[in-house]
Amino acid sequence: MKAKTKITTPTFLFRSFLKRPGGIVLLGVIGLLAAGQLVFDAYAAHRLDQPATQTVVTNLMISAVEGLVRPVPVDASTGQMQLASLHLKWPVSARFTGQILYSNTGGQDQTAELQLTSRPIMNAAKSKLWAVQTYATAAQNNRAVFNQVPNLQACTRGIQVFFTPQTELAPQWQDHGSVHLADGRTLYFYTESTCRQDLSPLLGYLKQAQSYE
């Protein structure tokens, strides 16, 4: 005689769960957690769609990148911009003197990486961030603002200078050749296509770099 096959249905499992000690309480807790998450998600979405909140977020993102760079010092006697730690200087320029910002991310040895941008380039990238926040609809605003973040970050890095050639480049990196210095070092220049500002004038100026003792 064949044993009867016990059919287990979702309804049967649900009823069995409720009959277990604490089953109803546990189900209630799960329901409260799910409802709470829905309420939180709705609240977060509502808050992020508020103009005041969006302005705070945009200001925070801009402040974060601005904190990564500082002005290249200008020598008071010559008017030339100089980076003493790397023994590099650039000629006086009506367009660029006092406008170059840098971040030295790799130390002071031969593997040092130097990132150079300018105030106008960063200001243009920041303006795009503010523009999309101002003109995008509430539903599009957050996505539009965050879509501009890679442009702002890449423009903050600007021209990236290495003392050794880079052989493994990410797809967005572009090689702009090299410059040999009088002290025997070579500077290798790279940019990122993610920055949608015109970096060509800045690149041309930075390639006038000279070494000094």
Q: Are 135 and 129 in contact (CB under 8 A)?
A: no
Number of structural domains, the chain?
A: 2
Q: Are 189 and 160 in contact (CB under 8 A)?
A: yes
Reported in sequence order, the residue ranges of the chain that DSSP labels E, i.e. its strands, are 70-71, 81-83, 88-90, 100-104, 113-118, 159-162, 173-180, 186-192, 210-211
pLDDT tens-digit profile of 90-116? 999 999 999 999 998 765 555 568 999
Q: Specify if 25 maps to a domain.
A: yes
* Confidence (pLDDT) at 156: 94
Considering the domain architecture, whether residues 183 and 96 belong to the same structural domain is answered as yes
* Confidence (pLDDT) at 131: 82
Nearest Cα residue to 124 out of 158, 172, 81: 158
* Confidence (pLDDT) at 48: 45
Considering the domain architecture, whether residues 191 and 117 belong to the same structural domain is answered as yes
pLDDT tens-digit profile of 59-72? 888 888 888 899 99
3-state secondary structure 151-195: HHHHHHHCEEEECCCCCCCCCCEEEEEEEECCCCCEEEEEEECCC
Q: Specify if 191 maps to a domain.
A: yes
Report which residue type is found at 209: A
Pairwise pLDDT comparison (2 vs 163), residue with the higher score: 163
Pairwise pLDDT comparison (194 vs 2), residue with the higher score: 194
Reply yes or no on whether the pLDDT at 185 is more than 90.
Answer: yes
* Confidence (pLDDT) at 144: 75
Considering the domain architecture, whether residues 190 and 92 belong to the same structural domain is answered as yes
Calpha distance 186→162 (Å, rounded): 8
Considering the domain architecture, whether residues 39 and 77 belong to the same structural domain is answered as no
In whole numbers, what is the pLDDT of the chain averaged over residues?
79
Residue 148: give the domain boundaries: 70-211
Q: Specify if 4 maps to a domain.
A: no
pLDDT tens-digit profile of 76-91? 999 999 999 899 999 9
Considering the domain architecture, whether residues 39 and 123 belong to the same structural domain is answered as no
pLDDT tens-digit profile of 6-22? 445 555 544 554 455 55
Considering the domain architecture, whether residues 149 and 188 belong to the same structural domain is answered as yes
Contacts of 21 (CB under 8 A, 6+ apart): none
pLDDT tens-digit profile of 116-173? 999 999 999 998 888 877 776 555 666 777 788 899 999 999 999 999 998 888 888 9
> Averaged over 178-195, what is the pLDDT?
96
Contacts of 128 (CB under 8 A, 6+ apart): 148, 151, 152, 196
C-alpha triplet 213, 99, 108: angle, nearest 5°: 35
Calpha distance 150→152 (Å, rounded): 5
Q: Are 206 and 176 in contact (CB under 8 A)?
A: no
* Confidence (pLDDT) at 143: 75
Q: Specify if 88 maps to a domain.
A: yes
Q: Are 177 and 189 in contact (CB under 8 A)?
A: yes
Q: Specify if 60 maps to a domain.
A: no
Q: Specify if 77 maps to a domain.
A: yes
Considering the domain architecture, whether residues 86 and 189 belong to the same structural domain is answered as yes
Q: Specify if 65 maps to a domain.
A: no
* Confidence (pLDDT) at 89: 97
Q: Specify if 63 maps to a domain.
A: no
* Confidence (pLDDT) at 58: 78
pLDDT tens-digit profile of 26-55? 444 455 455 545 543 444 444 445 555 667
